[in-house]
Amino acid sequence: MYEVEVKVRADHDDVRARLADLGADPVNRVMQSDIYYDAPHRDFAETDEALRVREETDADSGETVTRLTYKGPLVEAESKTRREVETAVGDADTAADILDALGFEAAATVEKERQRFALNGYTVTLDSVAGLGEFVEVETEAEGGSEAETAGESVANAREGAFAVLRDLDLDPGDQIRTSYLGLLLAEESDGTE
């Protein structure tokens, strides 16, 4: 399974108005705390991989779910598409203890508020990221491809659909940011120390 995602900086008020005009369906609003880990056996920054534990709290119900996620390297130059493997875990502290026992070290935390909408088969997410500002992500999942469609074609079709959704929102796919929030935060911290 591939996560096909395009992300741009954008003012949320303008995008919310456009989503309403297009009849997008509100999905949920959540708070997320992502703890990213460094591996003892390879440098994830060099391999373009990520391992994280995410705690997500629903803003309405207060229910919290925790997930462990591996993200592989980017698979194409045109979008932020990666292989993603994810599973629910019962407790974030226990997951952190397991990773620590295996030699993984917590490297950074990304905090954000997300508001999700469904539009034309895509998830449109308005992200407010602590220390970075406002972003819009358009994403979907692409299968590895069927007999009639290769994995590359599946990803390309999903990407082009995401670009169309961005254009429908009066946003420019050419403004896409392929760097993760973690990468953007680390770059901000690096710029601040020089």
Catalytic positions, please? Answer: 36
- Any idea how long the chain is? 194
- Name residue, tokens 């901000």: 188
| Dihedral sign (CA 84, 46, 107, 93) | positive
Whether the Cβ atoms of residue 119 and residue 25 lie closer than 8 Å to each other: yes
Tokens at 130, concatenated: 């602590």
Question: Where would I find the beta strands (DSSP E) of the chain?
Answer: 2-9, 25-38, 50-58, 64-74, 82-89, 105-119, 122-129, 133-142
Whether the Cβ atoms of residue 17 and residue 168 lie closer than 8 Å to each other: no
What does each C-alpha distance from 51 to 79, 99, 107, 115 come to in angstroms?
20, 10, 10, 23
Residue 143 CA to residue 152 CA, distance in Å, equals 10
